[in-house]
Chains A and B, each alone.
Chain A
């Protein structure tokens, strides 16, 4: 074999001790997993294009019709503007909520074992996958932005607002993709997963402020919507994305809810993910 001037015999274990800090290692592991996912997207960008269809249909069909109904959107915002932020959140949600199926796919193939047998922290693996779901969602956001601009939605293009939208999108995607991963780790087959994914998507989407304000809801549904993280994602997006938009709950609460929910789900997912190696 190629004898490239390697030392003839290394001690049996010249394993790399953590070169940097533990935090540095942890971040490297997250970065490694997320980068691999982004590389896959680069090899197959068509995947992203196929996902663009759904937000287009929602805005152009549902949005155009509902825009004729008066009094849905609160205050001075046209309904299409109101909806645009909701559809942005929704397109990110739909990408994320079926994300777990890739873990089942990877488990069936065997690729997942390579992750699990590495010394990387399980939570770093989970967060890496979550970040890559965020990257996918950002490409969705770009499509929704372009479409919304074409439809005349009043969008705030200030850099800080765009940055804020990106942060919310990545957080929201991390949250729901991690939820999806937990479900995948529990059900373990694609068939069962698809069923549950469908069942989950509808309530998360409709029991939120994505396409109508909470004020139109009966009291019980409003209560449900208040504990739905998607509501806070949409709330922040409406404030940050729209020129005339405002956040009802305030950005600190929106961010806090999304970060806390993501942290809790990541902790759970780290425990369920290791069972995928059995």
Chain B
């Protein structure tokens, strides 16, 4: 295994911070994610989840702080990080004007999958994700759930150590959501891959994640297993209760929170 310094940590984050102008989108986050964990980030829109993921996937340089992913520093060795991670962005990332097969071929080539193995890996990925029959149709004709599954396949064709999924079930119907999670679980069990997932569907996070971090206004409000966090709030509490308790509690401290977060998000987009 390449990351012998931290054999059990897939992701190590230390005081990671990102500012957009005067707005701090991610504020000194420190956190570790173990290998093979399914780790969930939850939090209100604009809380900084996506900004955090973008830094961990090397798309966005941090303002300060540091992190290693799969044993590689995100600032010093971004190319190595990219080589060892998969990323399913929140936005549509499969190309609608290509077929599913062509999308996978593009990924395989960009990630340097040996030419002799490309065909077999693509075939397997398509089968695993239930897309074998649609392989040669344009992705523009796929359903939302099929596109998500293709994107997951694209992110796995190089067998990454850590897979980042940013809101993988956004905009999907319940059946498609369930299917996406089932695939994530299968992959996690079969290959012991680390999964880092953001979502604002509390029930999904509760059901599928080993541990979760609640992010609010760029800071980690709580970390733990879903059961632990719920127990802190009350005997019959749901994650929704945890969320409401923690986020609302801070809202009284600073009423500007939401507006700030929203501005941060807009600023993030405009600066981008």
- Asked, given contacts A4-B128, A39-B98, A109-B91, whether A278 binds B35 with beta carbons under 8 Å apart, the answer is no
CA of A25 to CA of B93, assembled, Å: 23
In contact, B271 and A278 (Cβ under 8 angstroms): yes
Docked Cα-Cα span, A278 to B269, in Å, equals 8
Contact yes or no, B111 A12, CB < 8 A: no
A1 touching B183, Cβ below 8 Å:
yes
Q: Which residue of B lies closest to A12 (CB)?
A: B161
Interface size on A, residues (CB 8 A): 44
Contact (Cβ within 8 A) B97 A44: yes
Q: Is the CB of A118 within 8 A of B271?
A: no
Chain B residues within an 8 Å CB radius of A109: 91-93, 96
Contacts of B85 in A (CB 8 A): 117
Contact count band on B: 35 or more
Of all chain A residues, which has the CB nearest B106? A36
A32 to B154, CA, bound (A): 14
Q: Does A215 contact B (CB under 8 A)?
A: no
Instruction: Return the CB mask of B105-118 against A: 1 if under 8 Å, else 0.
Output: 11101111111000
A238 at the interface (CB under 8 A from B): no
CB of B191 within 8 A of CB of A9, answer: yes
Contacts of A43 in B (CB 8 A): 97-99, 138
**Cβ-based interface call for A209 (8 A):** no
Residues of A within 8 A of B192 (CB): 9-10, 12
Closest A-chain residue to B191, C-beta based? A10
Contacts of A23 in B (CB 8 A): none
Residue of B nearest to A14 (CB): B159
Q: Is A146 an interface residue (CB 8 A)?
A: no
Look across to chain A and name the residue whose beta carbon is closest to the beta carbon of B108.
A32
What DSSP secondary structure best describes chain A's contact surface?
loop
Interface membership of chain A positions 107-124, coded 1 if the CB is closer than 8 angstroms to chain B and 0 otherwise: 001110111111110000
Inter-chain contact count A-B, CB under 8 Å?
Answer: 145
- Asked if B59 and A29 sit within 8 Å, CB to CB, the answer is no
A58 located at the interface, meaning its Cβ lies under 8 Å from any Cβ of chain B in the complex: no
Q: Is B206 an interface residue (CB 8 A)?
A: no
Contact partners of A2 in chain B: CB under 8 A: 127-128, 130
> Is A191 interfacial (CB 8 A cutoff)?
no
Cα(A11)–Cα(B79), bound, Å:
21
For B132, the closest partner residue in chain A by CB is: A2
B154: chain A residues within 8 A (beta carbon): 114
Q: Can you list, as one digit per residue, whether each of A25-60 has a CB less than 8 Å from chain B (1) or not (0)? A: 100110111011001100110000000000000000
Chain A proximity of B239: nearest CB distance (Å): 27
Give chain B residues whose Cβ lies under 8 Å from the Cβ of A19: 112, 114-115
What are the residues of chain A within 8 A of B115 when measuring CB–CB?
A: 19
Inter-subunit contact B128/A15 (CB<8 Å)? no
C-alpha gap A270/B107 in the complex (Å): 19
Whether B159 contacts A28 by the Cβ 8 Å rule is: no
Q: Which residues of A contact B110 (CB under 8 A)?
A: 29, 32-33, 115, 118-120
The answer to whether A129 has its CB under 8 Å from any CB of chain B is no
Check A29–B109 contact: CB distance below 8 A.
yes
Q: Select from chain B the residue with minimum beta-carbon distance to A25.
A: B112
> Is residue A136 contacting chain B, with contact meaning CB distance below 8 A?
no
A111-B95 contact in complex given A13-B161, A25-B112, C-beta closer than 8 Å: yes
Q: Once bound together, how far apart are the Cα atoms of A117 and B107, in whole Å? A: 11
CA distance A13 to B79 in the complex (A): 15
A110 engages B89 (CB within 8 Å): yes
- Are A110 and B92 in touch, CB under 8 angstroms? yes
The answer to the question of B64 belonging to the interface, with a C-beta cut-off of 8 Å to chain A, is no
Which residues on B sit within 8 Å (CB–CB) of A35?
A: 106, 109
Tell me the complex Cα distance, A275–B54, Å. 12
A11–B1 touching, CB < 8 Å: yes
B28 CB–A CB distance under 8 Å: no
Selected A-B contacts with CB under 8 Å, 7 pairs: A1-B182, A13-B84, A15-B161, A16-B114, A16-B159, A44-B97, A114-B89
Known contacts A114-B94, A114-B107; 5 further A-B pairs (Cβ under 8 A) = A3-B190, A10-B159, A15-B161, A113-B93, A275-B272
